[in-house]
Amino acid sequence: MGTERACWWASLDPARLGGIGRDQEAGLDFNAGRKPGMARMTTRSLMAVVLPFILAVPLLGAENTSKRKLARVKDVASIEGVRDNQLVGYGIVVGLHGTGDSSQTVFPLQTLESALGRMGVSLQGNATALQTRNMAGVFLSGLLPPFASPGNRLDVTVSSAGDARSLEGGVLLMTPLYGPDGQIYAQAQGPMVLGGYSVTANGSSKSVNYPTTARIPSGAIVERGVPLDLTQMRTLSLLLNDADFATAETVAAAINRELSRPLAHAVDSRRIEMRPEAREDIPALLARVEEVEVEVLPRAKVVVNERTGTVVIGGNVILQPVTILHGGLVVNIVGLMEISQPNPAAQGTTQVVQQTTVEARDKPVNRIELREGATVDDLVENLQQIGATARDIISILQAMKEAQALEAELEVL
């Protein structure tokens, strides 16, 4: 029987698989010459059994591959201690075309008087007579990247601190940028780039975007760096962007598999610790670790913003069978002005009477039914069909969460 089965599979010629109809019409029979009692199988019945197995194998592989979401370690985690540092400073912008701070804002005058005093110019109490419409007091903010050294350049953001209308055409004077410890880490200066403008003429004004905020690309020079010696670190820690025990274990296992040694282990849902060997090249080790690809298990989440009416639903959100009845109450208030005027022969005055009519009616109830296996696309399509607005969708999602029909984390901004 085993020999006959092998011969049966060997008789499956690929050239003959494409001509099922022709073989059957010609009377071809794969069972010719078999022993008595064995089932006879025609070409059509043979292909009906074989083809599902041939087609199912690549489809199953493609399905498993599509479900896997791979990401690099550097995209899902950061190295503890290797981070940016925030900088802030205060200075003045000069050269404005009458769009700066008014005389009611006192700190630009004090800043100007202090700057002129450092340059040997004494105002002798006449600072209050100065006009500051061509200057503005501003705050600066920037980020000092890790391993920055003196001489590196940074981008800074400049924002008006007073009542200036626009910073267009202004130039920032030299301004120190301070760290949280009060030390100066950079100096900023230069012309600014605006993403908007403000125009006023004959009592009319037009404003586009925010003309009181600007940027200076590469406008700050680092004067002091934050020292970080990787060679002295006996333990390296990876911090996941989103805490998750499964992802932490997956990352640790992927690193150990890539380096072929038990280097990493998960401490908790966010931290993975690595203990490198003595005299090991730490930058080269971290470069290999950051390029390791891991399977990410994202958390199902729905994010809604009630202020803007924005709803973002993740693709891995699971919906349970649920029936939604959506209606509402419409209130219409109509105000009428009625003029009451006496007859010409009568005495009296003309009066205007306000009449208000309040009408309330219920909107027809719309019904949505989500059966088992429904997707987020089904939910959104049904909500659009009943004419639900963004705020209606937010209320429906919150109600579905309370009814345990939405298996996801609902985050309201």
Q: What is the pLDDT of residue 339?
A: 58
Q: Could you tell me if residue 395 is inside a domain?
A: yes
Q: What is the pLDDT of residue 289?
A: 94
The verdict on 109 and 218 lying in the same domain is yes
d(CA 411, CA 299): 12
The verdict on 43 and 102 lying in the same domain is no
| Nearest one of 273, 207, 202 to 236, comparing CA atoms | 273
The verdict on 324 and 218 lying in the same domain is no
| pLDDT tens by residue, 319-365 | 777 777 766 544 444 555 555 556 665 566 666 555 556 666 566 66
Expressed as residue numbers, the domain containing 63 is 2-67
Task: Please provide residue 323's backbone torsions phi and psi, each rounded to the nearest 5 degrees.
Answer: -115, 130
Q: What is the pLDDT of residue 330?
A: 44
Q: Could you tell me if residue 79 is inside a domain?
A: no
Q: What is the pLDDT of residue 155?
A: 95
d(CA 251, CA 293): 8
The verdict on 46 and 29 lying in the same domain is yes
State pTM to two decimals.
0.62
| pLDDT tens by residue, 72-119 | 999 999 999 899 999 999 999 999 988 888 877 778 878 887 888 788
Total domains in the chain come to 4
| CA dihedral for 124, 129, 132, 134, sign (positive or negative) | negative
CATH number of the domain enclosing 273: 3.30.70
In the chain, which stretches have pLDDT less than 70? Answer: 1-68, 125-130, 196-208, 315, 326-366, 373
The verdict on 261 and 313 lying in the same domain is no
Q: What is the pLDDT of residue 38?
A: 44
The verdict on 135 and 173 lying in the same domain is yes
The verdict on 356 and 407 lying in the same domain is yes
Q: Could you tell me if residue 313 is inside a domain?
A: yes
Q: Could you tell me if residue 49 is inside a domain?
A: yes
The answer to whether the CB of 372 falls within 8 A of the CB of 319 is no
- The encoded tokens of residue 38 equal 């064995």
The verdict on 169 and 106 lying in the same domain is yes
Q: What is the pLDDT of residue 321?
A: 79
The verdict on 121 and 247 lying in the same domain is no
